[in-house]
Amino acid sequence: MALAPTMLMAPALREEVADFVADVVTAPGQARHEIRAIRGPEADTIANFARRILAAGGDLGGQRPRTVKEAPYLGRGIANGGLIPQDAFVTSTRFEEWLAG
């Protein structure tokens, strides 16, 4: 069994995040002190993303637990999407596309 915190997340493909960062830091006239946010195109719980990885034949850190359970130990704000930026650049690759790749 794997235990995951009850929290919403919006994962982004690392290559798209790297491209975004490179574009921001190399754009002429951009203020480098601005805070920029980036997120993936879909939000779900960590546990559901883990279940989808396992269902596709993947593993979680080299392990293939039979069940993934959630535990509400990080607080309501995080559980309800408090770490997902609303005003953000949204990457284009969906989770299913990443799983298939």
pLDDT digits (tens, 9 = 90+) for 31-87: 667 788 999 999 999 999 999 999 999 999 999 999 999 998 878 888 899 989 999
Report residue 67: phi and psi, to 5°.
Answer: -130, 150
pTM: 0.85
Backbone φ and ψ for 85, nearest 5 degrees, come out as -70, 135
